[in-house]
């Protein structure tokens, strides 16, 4: 509950003090800011209590380069259980809560699944009253805003902080100094409250902003050297400006490494400072009170940094420091793509953070010595070393310097053990675990699909499913209930209508809500095979052109994806899909049986509209390449069957919901392993005219790439390969015909609306496994060894004291 009177007063006071405005005169952005700050005022005491309570015991710290948080306002109100109360307060003062929610910018703190998983994890940690703090960077411009010009992706700065961010509290007095070889910068912390569901506990995401030690050189300015006067300021602020700056040259690589060391060093300093504040006996107990999770390889420099501090600053003997460090850290591997396993040039490390580089050399020498004692051959040792061929292998450093390495789906973990990290698994089998990813049901159902959430609560006669997603299994008894299924489909149609209206408003494209909404939304990467989907759509278009009377359910194919600014081939795929959309959407002869929409600037708030409205979830990565995926889980939770390969978490989705309620196709990992050395995509290209026809549209003038050579390069990649990979590296042509056939099965199944509803319902009721509450409980118990710590409210504190 909230104090409605106090909230009203807070809104009025904040508008007056911050903007010299009133409820009547304020713009919607000012109102959003004031209402949000008013909410912060009501939770601040519990936030402080949570922080203090956590410091009295072992804590976990989640280090991640990105946290894709999305909008905070609506999610926070739902978790606090005050959405309706706040709406009634705003109604009284004539403020539309929907306009307030829409006024919030998506936080520009992440990009893809890695960052969204981190955000869901924090939500679950708070909900479960677990003492966990997130650490990252407060990016001024995030990744980028995407728009399309003539079908090409164009990037522009995402100035999401231009109007301030009311959910962040600056803690300037807790700033720390970070030292590089030739530069010192200030790391200033900003704390964001992480509000759990139905709990008093408030956790923290601490984000660091880079600021100069000296922002302005007056003497240089006075000498009319204006650029030089602010050079130190600009150089420092570059560190926290943009997520994943282009690293195509040494300047970009240097900035990326500076980012990683900056936030890691600041976080380690912060953790150590708080450890000392609690007056623990010595650093011998450090790992008994602190667990640090490394989310992928970006923060792995934390391992040598902690060693540096223990050895240099705390004067600890090396071997003791190593044991403490190893027992402090755990590492999550998110990829089996060798190109995504970070490696850094030794000279870059040596030039930027020389003492840390010396520590890494000593760690590497220690590893080689241990392997030699264990009887490993020189060749085997060379293959496992942290430093090899002038490069620092961050994944090797992470595994050697931590007590646990986990994969993020059962198949992914098996691949790590049996293939990609086989040598490490054989060396340290006890260190490897699986932690299948999940999603938070608060944002991905309770918030984004309120209509379905209300139906579930009504059927279960309880809203506890929001905290215990396994309760959805109880809905299985309605799988044959026609009235329930019809109501469910009615809600799905309602969400489709809402999405159609949003797309009309933001993309100026009208879509048919009676069509199948076939949706593929994820980061643009070749292994995710948006190109395969594009070819299949084009093939369907040609079949409709040849047979205009062919009976197929109307379909709207919806894409959402950003390509990394320097990823030429991925940007070519975006352009190609937009060219297909232009062709199909302007051809009246097919009677709008199919339409293609590539939404611009895919982000969390857009995703919240897309997942509930989907009829079909497209998860078609090459088998063995997707570590897990979490988009597939969000679709499943909202009652959407998967069309996908036997890859990542798709494997476990099918195990839970049944193969008969999903549409699995394509070569499995073991088949790809068997054929990859002799695979020749031209065998499929020359044998099947439909494949040749769609592939050749890349070069035969059907589509125009504006003279960039993008389409020719894509064609070559498929049929000839490149210096760094074989032809059709992701087996698109191998899986093409199977994909077209499985889509025909979707058409057939969709025509029986009641049976289709059952498939959707079966996915919903069996999605309970994929909650981050389950995942985080496993991390807490099996990796971090931390305990649930609900804070006491005042009445409980008085009772405990009286009992004492």
pLDDT, tens only, 304-361: 999 999 999 999 999 999 999 999 999 999 988 776 689 999 999 999 999 999 999 9
Q: Tell whether 251 and 191 lie within a shared domain.
A: yes
Give me the catalytic one of 634, 734, 758, 759: 634
pLDDT tens digit sequence for 359-387 = 999 999 999 999 999 999 999 999 999 99
795 pLDDT tier (thresholds 50, 70, 90): very low
Give me the catalytic one of 200, 403, 528, 555: 528
pLDDT tens digit sequence for 586-601 = 999 998 899 999 999 9
Q: Tell whether 430 and 488 lie within a shared domain.
A: no
Give me the catalytic one of 116, 523, 734, 769: 523
Could you tell me the two tokens for 635? 């679709």
Q: Tell whether 130 and 189 lie within a shared domain.
A: yes
* Mean pLDDT (whole number) for 385-402: 97
Q: Tell whether 498 and 616 lie within a shared domain.
A: yes
Q: Is 549 a catalytic residue?
A: no
Q: Tell whether 426 and 490 lie within a shared domain.
A: no
DSSP 3-state of 742: helix
Per-residue confidence (pLDDT) for residue 377, from 0 to 100: 96
Per-residue confidence (pLDDT) for residue 804, from 0 to 100: 47
Q: Tell whether 427 and 532 lie within a shared domain.
A: no
How far is residue 135's CA from residue 215's CA, in Å, rounded to a whole number?
A: 25
Per-residue confidence (pLDDT) for residue 217, from 0 to 100: 83
Length reported for the chain: 804
Q: Tell whether 248 and 157 lie within a shared domain.
A: yes
Q: Tell whether 174 and 257 lie within a shared domain.
A: yes
Give me the catalytic one of 630, 640, 697, 775: 630
Per-residue confidence (pLDDT) for residue 800, from 0 to 100: 46
- Whether 470 is covered by a domain: the verdict is no
DSSP assignment, residue 249? S
272: phi then psi, degrees, rounded to nearest 5: -65, -40
How far is residue 67's CA from residue 112's CA, in Å, rounded to a whole number?
A: 9
pLDDT tens digit sequence for 725-736 = 999 999 999 999
At how many degrees (to 10) do helices 4-19 and 83-92 cross? Answer: 60
Per-residue confidence (pLDDT) for residue 353, from 0 to 100: 98
Give me the catalytic one of 71, 256, 334, 403: 334
Tell me the average pLDDT of the chain. 96
Per-residue confidence (pLDDT) for residue 792, from 0 to 100: 73
Q: Is 334 a catalytic residue?
A: yes
Contact yes or no for 220/228 (Cβ under 8 A): yes
**How many CA atoms within 13 Å lie on the side-chain side of 280?**
19
Per-residue confidence (pLDDT) for residue 336, from 0 to 100: 80
Per-residue confidence (pLDDT) for residue 346, from 0 to 100: 98
CATH at 388: 3.40.50.2000
Q: Tell whether 65 and 183 lie within a shared domain.
A: yes
Q: Is 528 a catalytic residue?
A: yes
- Whether 75 is covered by a domain: the verdict is no
pTM, whole model, 2 decimals? Answer: 0.96
pLDDT for residue 221 is more than 90: no
Q: Using CA of residue 731, residue 732, residue 737, residue 739, what is the dihedral sign?
A: positive
- Whether 723 is covered by a domain: the verdict is yes
Per-residue confidence (pLDDT) for residue 8, from 0 to 100: 96
Per-residue confidence (pLDDT) for residue 421, from 0 to 100: 94
How far is residue 8's CA from residue 16's CA, in Å, rounded to a whole number?
A: 13
Give me the catalytic one of 417, 522, 593, 603: 522
Task: Spell out the alpha helix ranges (H) of 329-445.
Answer: 346-352, 354-373, 378-384, 394-400, 410-415, 422-427, 441
How far is residue 141's CA from residue 154's CA, in Å, rounded to a whole number?
A: 15
How far is residue 89's CA from residue 83's CA, in Å, rounded to a whole number?
A: 10
Q: Tell whether 407 and 489 lie within a shared domain.
A: no
522 pLDDT tier (thresholds 50, 70, 90): very high
- Whether 624 is covered by a domain: the verdict is yes
Long-range CB pairs of 670-675, under 8 A, 24+ apart, other chains included: 671/623, 672/622, 672/623, 672/624, 672/731, 673/624, 675/734
Contact yes or no for 651/409 (Cβ under 8 A): yes
The residue range of the domain holding 252 is 55-70+106-437
- Whether 128 is covered by a domain: the verdict is yes
pLDDT tens digit sequence for 529-556 = 999 999 999 999 999 999 998 999 999 9
Cβ-based neighbours of 740, under 8 Å, separated by 6 or more: 536, 539, 540, 690
793 pLDDT tier (thresholds 50, 70, 90): low
Q: Is 630 a catalytic residue?
A: yes
Q: Tell whether 406 and 486 lie within a shared domain.
A: no
Q: Is 199 a catalytic residue?
A: no
pLDDT for residue 797 is more than 70: no
- Whether 503 is covered by a domain: the verdict is yes
Q: Tell whether 407 and 540 lie within a shared domain.
A: no
Could you tell me the two tokens for 435? 């932690």
Q: Is 350 a catalytic residue?
A: no
- Whether 165 is covered by a domain: the verdict is yes
**How many structural domains are present in the chain?**
2
- Whether 367 is covered by a domain: the verdict is yes
């Amino acid at each position: 509950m909230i104090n409605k009177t106090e909230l009203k007063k807070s809104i009025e006071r904040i508008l007056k003090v911050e903007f010299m405005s009133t409820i009547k005169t304020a713009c919607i952005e000012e109102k959003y800011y004031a209402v949000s700050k008013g909410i912060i005022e009501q939770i601040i005491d519990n936030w402080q209590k949570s922080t203090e309570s956590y410091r009295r015991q072992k804590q976990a710290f989640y280090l991640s380069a990105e946290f894709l948080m999305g909008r905070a306002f609506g999610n926070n109100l739902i978790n606090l259980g005050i959405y309706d109360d706040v709406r009634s307060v705003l109604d009284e003062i004539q403020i539309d809560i929907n306009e307030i929610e829409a006024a919030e910018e998506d936080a520009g703190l992440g990009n893809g699944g890695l960052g969204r998983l981190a955000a869901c994890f924090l939500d679950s940690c708070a909900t479960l009253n677990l003492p966990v703090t997130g650490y990252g960077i407060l990016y001024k411009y995030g990744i980028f805003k995407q728009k399309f010009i003539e079908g090409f992706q164009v990037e522009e700065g995402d100035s999401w902080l231009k109007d301030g961010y009311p959910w962040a509290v600056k803690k300037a007095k807790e700033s720390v100094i970070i030292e590089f070889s030739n530069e010192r910068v200030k790391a200033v912390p900003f704390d964001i409250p992480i509000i759990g569901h139905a709990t008093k506990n408030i956790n923290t995401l601490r984000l660091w902003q880079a600021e100069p030690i000296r922002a302005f050189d007056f003497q240089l300015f006075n000498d009319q050297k204006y650029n030089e006067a602010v050079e130190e300021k600009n150089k420092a602020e570059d560190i926290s400006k943009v997520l994943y700056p282009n690293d195509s040259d040494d300047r970009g690589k240097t900035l990326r490494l500076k980012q990683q060391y900056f936030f890691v060093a600041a976080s380690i300093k912060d953790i150590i400072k708080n450890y000392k504040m609690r007056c623990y006996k010595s650093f011998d107990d450090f790992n008994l009170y602190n667990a640090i999770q490394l989310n992928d390889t970006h923060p792995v420099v934390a391992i040598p940094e902690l060693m540096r501090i223990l050895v240099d600053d705390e004067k600890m003997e090396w071997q003791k420091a190593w044991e403490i460090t190893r027992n402090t850290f755990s590492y999550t591997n998110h990829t089996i793509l060798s190109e995504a396993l970070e490696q850094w040039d030794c000279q870059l490390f040596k030039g930027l953070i020389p003492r840390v580089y010396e520590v890494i050399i000593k760690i590497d020498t220690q590893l080689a010595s241990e392997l030699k004692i264990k009887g490993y051959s020189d060749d085997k040792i060379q293959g496992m070393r942290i430093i090899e061929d002038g490069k620092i292998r961050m994944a090797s450093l992470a595994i050697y310097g931590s007590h646990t390495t986990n994969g993020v789906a059962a198949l992914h973990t098996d691949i790590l053990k049996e293939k990609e990290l086989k040598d490490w698994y054989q060396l340290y089998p006890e260190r490897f675990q699986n932690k299948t990813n999940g999603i938070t049901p608060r944002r991905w159902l309770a918030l984004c699909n309120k209509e379905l959430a209300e139906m579930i609560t009504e059927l279960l006669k309880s809203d506890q499913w929001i905290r215990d997603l396994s309760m959805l299994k109880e809905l299985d008894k309605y799988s044959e209930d026609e009235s329930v299924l019809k109501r469910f489909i009615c809600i799905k149609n309602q969400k489709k209508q809402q999405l159609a209206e949003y797309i009309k408003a933001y993309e100026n494209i009208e879509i048919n809500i009676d069509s199948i909404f076939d949706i593929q939304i994820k980061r643009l990467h070749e292994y995710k095979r948006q190109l395969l989907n594009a070819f299949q759509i084009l093939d369907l278009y040609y079949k409709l052109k040849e047979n205009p009377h062919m009976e197929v359910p109307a379909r709207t194919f919806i894409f959402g994806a950003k390509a990394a600014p320097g990823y030429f081939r991925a940007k070519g795929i975006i352009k190609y899909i937009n060219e297909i959309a232009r062709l199909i959407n302007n051809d009246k002869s097919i009677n709008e049986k199919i339409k293609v929409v590539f939404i611009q600037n895919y982000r969390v708030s857009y995703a919240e509209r897309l997942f509930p409205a989907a009829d079909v979830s497209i998860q078609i990565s090459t088998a063995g390449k997707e570590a897990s995926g979490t988009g597939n889980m969000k679709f499943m939770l909202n009652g959407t069957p998967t069309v996908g390969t036997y890859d990542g978490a798709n494997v476990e989705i099918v195990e839970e919901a049944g193969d008969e309620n999903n549409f699995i196709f394509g070569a499995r990992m073991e088949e790809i392993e068997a054929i990859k050395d002799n695979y020749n995509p031209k065998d499929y290209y020359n044998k099947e005219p439909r494949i040749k026809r769609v592939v050749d549209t890349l070069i035969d003038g059907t589509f125009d790439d504006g003279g960039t050579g993008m389409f020719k390069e894509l064609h070559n990649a498929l049929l000839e390969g490149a210096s760094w990979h074989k032809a059709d590296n992701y087996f698109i042509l191998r899986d093409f015909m199977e994909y077209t056939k499985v889509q025909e099965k979707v058409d057939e199944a969709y025509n029986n609306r009641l049976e289709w509803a059952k498939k959707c319902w079966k996915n919903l009721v069996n999605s309970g496994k994929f909650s981050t509450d389950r995942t985080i409980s496993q991390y807490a118990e099996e990796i971090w060894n931390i305990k649930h710590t609900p804070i006491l409210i005042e009445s409980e504190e008085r009772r405990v004291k009286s009992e004492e």
